[in-house]
């Protein structure tokens, strides 16, 4: 078993850190809001630290699940950052969805201190984190990944290295591009069914077992039809992720017309007051457009 620090105890990080404790690892947590870290420790029995550097001191692995590029950079660098507390040979595993460029920058900074950096964004949402069923897509040094994979297994149903530093983040971008298109397609389809006088539930019962079936259809069609969106992966976070995708596409000269369009549809949802609604709220937008 390993000494592990976990930085960031949001809806994803808190259950992930809990799985590490249940797997037998010694876990120290840090959260920007100290009360949240203390509440987590009271529930799971782990330790807390007032700074990322102190949490990382003595850790074999430092896991992070934060908000964005700036959050990650702030937690990693500086006198109180995780890198300052990590020993040579330790491995930093980043589960945040961020740009590949910040990943490569931080990996280079870490390497100067003999620290390995594995980018390891996740898919599966809050339910996947709570149930220990996340898909983890990784980039970075192969040897460091091999060391980290058994620890990540505490909350993953699938974990795979896709290449060197940044490959995990690029794969997560592919994941988000796919989701954006599927959710918009499902929103349009269910709206069409309603407008045509069909029972959406019966329609999904028929088509869900065929080529049209998807995770989004299975897990979101009922809540979409029930006009329930106070759950799941927030629109605000999806727009952040799609912004990363579109910026990377601009850098590589790749055309993402569907992604750009759906990103604007999510902007419409934000303007409806739905920034914290689940990404399936694209259906609510469709209903509004059609009266």
Residue 172 annotated as catalytic: yes
- Sequential DSSP letters for 44-95: H--EE-SSHHHHHTT-SEEEE--SSHHHHHHHHSSTTSHHHHPPTT-EEEE-
Q: What is the pLDDT of residue 217?
A: 97
* Catalytic one of 172, 267, 284, 288: 172
278 and 228, same domain (yes or no) = yes
Question: Which pLDDT tens digit goes with each residue over 152-201?
Answer: 999 999 999 999 999 999 999 999 999 999 999 999 999 999 999 999 99
Boundary (domain end) residue, out of 118, 136, 164: 164
Same domain for 95 and 16: yes
Q: Do both 124 and 14 map to the same domain? A: yes
CATH of the domain at 42: 3.40.50.720
Contact 152, 93 (CB under 8 A): yes
| Interval 200-236: pLDDT, tens | 999 999 999 999 999 999 999 999 999 999 998 999 9
Same domain, 253 and 129: no
225 and 154 share one domain: no
The span from the CA of 100 to the CA of 172, in Å, is: 10
Is the distance from CB of 121 to CB of 159 less than 8 angstroms? no
Task: Name the domain boundary from 115, 143, 164.
Answer: 164
Check which CATH number belongs to the domain holding 280 and give it. 1.10.1040.10
Q: Give the domain extent around 71.
A: 3-164
193 and 158 co-located in one domain: no
pLDDT (tens digit per residue) in 147-161: 999 999 999 999 999
Overall domain count for the chain: 2
């Amino acid at each position: 078993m390993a000494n592990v620090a976990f930085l960031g105890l949001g809806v994803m990080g808190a259950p992930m850190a809990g799985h590490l404790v249940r797997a037998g690892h010694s876990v120290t947590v840090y959260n920007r809001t100290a009360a949240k870290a203390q509440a987590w420790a009271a529930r799971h029995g782990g330790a807390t630290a007032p700074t990322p550097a102190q949490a990382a001191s003595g850790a074999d692995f430092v896991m992070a699940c934060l908000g964005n590029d700036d959050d990650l950079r702030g937690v990693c660098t500086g006198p109180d950052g995780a890198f300052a507390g990590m020993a040579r040979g330790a491995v930093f595993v980043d589960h945040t969805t961020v740009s590949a460029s910040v990943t490569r920058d931080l990996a280079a900074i870490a390497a100067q201190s003999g620290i390995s950096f594995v980018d390891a964004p996740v898919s599966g949402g809050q339910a996947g984190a709570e149930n220990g069923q996340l898909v983890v897509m990784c980039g970075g040094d192969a040897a460091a990944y091999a060391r980290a994979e058994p620890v990540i297994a505490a909350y993953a149903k699938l974990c795979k290295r896709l290449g060197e530093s940044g490959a995990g983040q690029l794969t997560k971008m592919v994941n988000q591009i796919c989701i954006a298109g599927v959710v918009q397609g499902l929103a349009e389809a269910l709206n069409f069914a309603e407008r045509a006088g069909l029972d959406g539930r019966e329609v999904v019962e028929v088509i869900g077992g065929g080529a049209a079936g998807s995770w989004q259809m299975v897990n979101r069609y009922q809540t979409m039809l029930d006009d329930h969106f106070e759950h799941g992966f927030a629109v605000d976070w999806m727009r952040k992720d799609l912004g990363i995708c579109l910026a990377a596409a601009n850098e590589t000269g790749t055309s993402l017309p569907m992604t750009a369009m759906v990103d604007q549809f999510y902007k419409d949802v934000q303007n409806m007051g739905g920034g914290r609604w689940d990404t399936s709220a694209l259906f609510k937008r469709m209903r509004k457009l059609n009266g």
